[in-house]
Structure 1
């Protein structure tokens, strides 16, 4: 049955699956940093775009297939197939977005999602009605379910990974190709068998839609997915521009004057209720501010409350709007502090701000390399990750790593 597919519609179905995956996982990657109502809105949006992408890809693939000309689509099974897809996607994302997802939970969610995607496909196939019946090869059915589970696992791993452009694009492409592979694997194992007898026609029971109507619905959903994809490319507005400018100035200024670094401005007041206030005290008769004692732990926000991590386990801190992301060598989690607040609270003998958006733990630096005008360093851990270094910070970083003598 795979022969005779329209190659342009096949290519479109793969592209739509990729765009839906990019938009959905792009929203899902922001869930952990947005508590409350925004968390639920992002979860619903991510599940919606992923479900629409998977469902639309399926029916574009159906339009591409050489199905009998008199085929109509029963509305009820078609709607149920979408609801199944949306439900299992939402449940899977919910399970991996609460608490700390273990490998067992991720695998269980992937199995649920994969079986749900396969169920959506076969329920949708059941919605085809005409003078034929559908037969499926058992081996191809099992293979299509396996492909769907693998696709779901890869997608959920992408959701749990750090959100950056290249990895998100690569994960979306892999997800789109895998979901499309599941569909066309199942189609390869399906066969239209004409009903015997010239006058014997399989009656249509229930509300049905023609291929023309389905084409219009699919076209509208393609527009929705494309619009969501384009909106996801628009950068978020840079709020609190004054604070960002102050953070950048602090990152580029030399740190030889410790007093200048220790001064705390009122701009850190937005860090949130979990962030303690910083009070500077004079040093004897010198009249210079003194840095408060470094904190031993950092607060991390989770769906079930606030957790704490020892600073000894922190590899890097990355600015994310007016919050930060703390990497522990395995993954990133949201911290309610701003990047300036984190810089002021961490031990300056162990941590250094190498970029306006990045702070790193010097003891965990395992690799450094010149790159363009700046540099890049790698932090150790079960999942090593790299951090950019601004040109203004290269000399200081080399001195802290023992690669060059600090300037007098």
Structure 2
């Protein structure tokens, strides 16, 4: 498979694919809990770095191949190959980032992405021009398609896992090796055939030499390296969130003070629990039975019993009814004050959930994740300071005294 290839460029191509995967998956890991605007930016960034990593790996692999002297690269097919890669990566990530994707949607997206990667490869190969023709072994083409789809599926699962640290690096390494394996498998099935004496070779369109392509690839390598280094910088929002959660934990009070035997419990207002709000909030009004949501034709109202979760979105919130999210004009604090504390609980600085709709609780990192039922089940994060309260509300742990 690597016969005649430059070993240093082969190694570089694998490293580039790994760095592109790590940067793309690292950006994807930061999507959870972000407002819609940041969600779109991070999703676009993840798609961009994955596409650049895949495409750059391909052309570094092409520079490593023992191609005939005088080979040039047609500009149009080369650019089209990158556009194909960027388009299928963006579409696939978009499909699997909407709500909690089903296995069918993930598999379909993996097939689309895998076929897109293969199409990018062969369109890029079509951009080679010189005194030769190319032929491809059918078996190797089929095998490369299978490897590409498997790599795409693994990459999308890593995207959905949104993990960090060692798990993210292992996912990126596996993705980079798989994508590189697809490229070199396809290259192993390619044969360079000298043109016949009667054939007249001609070149159509603008062409670039290997040196020009090397400069473009070197620039993209710097872009990937810069993105990789930036992805290692700690997210300041995580630090701020951790500080806020630490403050929440410091301010958490027991629901009822512990009284000595034979004495009445203390009724000091400072020790009395404040539903959903904590200390320092004014007395709350009676819970509202319906919540306002905005649509194109005006403001509608949905019953509080239909609400699964409330998510902060800048100065507004998004109400999830088990099927989709709708914008609510309330802030997260106002929603917290309006909802019935017997039915809803604040589980994160940006999330409120309906406790009766919880179907799953799973520890994740320092916090936890909750899944809420509905036609489109979705998951929300639980901060470390709220885990004990949530478990107590669900009846799976005792409240500390």
When normalised by structure 2's length, the TM-score is 0.72
Deviation track 1:54-113 (CA, whole Å, cap 9, x = no partner) reads 000000000110011210000000000000000000000011011220000000000000
The structure-2 alpha-carbon separation of the partners of 1:205 and 1:138, relative to structure 1 and needing over 3 Å to count, comes to same
- Following superposition, the deviation at residue 239 of structure 1 comes to 2.9
Structure 1 unaligned residues grouped into runs of 5+: 280-291, 301-305, 352-360, 364-395, 401-405
In 2, Cα distance between equivalents of 1:191 and 1:267 = 74
Contact 1:32/1:333, CA 8 A, preserved across alignment: no
- Following superposition, the deviation at residue 295 of structure 1 comes to 3.6
Contact 2:343/2:354, CA 8 A, preserved across alignment: no
- Following superposition, the deviation at residue 30 of structure 1 comes to 2.8
Alignment of 1:138-149 (within 5 A): 138-149=138-149
Alignment of 1:61-80 (within 5 A): 61-80=61-80
- Following superposition, the deviation at residue 36 of structure 1 comes to 2.1
1:362 aligned residue:
397
Matched, 1:210 2:209: yes
Deviation track 1:257-290 (CA, whole Å, cap 9, x = no partner) reads 577694624599x9663564469xxxxxxxxxxx
Which of 307, 310, 326 is residue 369 of structure 2 equivalent to?
Answer: 326
- Following superposition, the deviation at residue 40 of structure 1 comes to 1.5
In 1, Cα distance between equivalents of 2:136 and 2:111 = 22
When the two chains are superposed, the root-mean-square deviation of aligned CA atoms in Å is: 3.8
2:230 aligned residue:
231
The structure-2 alpha-carbon separation of the partners of 1:242 and 1:86, relative to structure 1 and needing over 3 Å to count, comes to closer
- Following superposition, the deviation at residue 343 of structure 1 comes to 5.9
2:306 aligned residue:
none
- Following superposition, the deviation at residue 185 of structure 1 comes to 0.3
Contact 2:57/2:180, CA 8 A, preserved across alignment: yes
Contact 1:135/1:191, CA 8 A, preserved across alignment: yes
2:174 aligned residue:
174
Which of 353, 361, 380 is residue 315 of structure 1 equivalent to?
Answer: 361
1:247 aligned residue:
248
Matched, 1:16 2:51: no
The structure-2 alpha-carbon separation of the partners of 1:133 and 1:310, relative to structure 1 and needing over 3 Å to count, comes to farther
Contact 2:254/2:271, CA 8 A, preserved across alignment: no
When normalised by structure 1's length, the TM-score is 0.71
Contact 1:22/1:169, CA 8 A, preserved across alignment: yes
**204-213 or 1-10, larger mean C-alpha shift:** 1-10
Contact 1:20/1:229, CA 8 A, preserved across alignment: yes
- Following superposition, the deviation at residue 133 of structure 1 comes to 0.4
- Following superposition, the deviation at residue 170 of structure 1 comes to 1.1
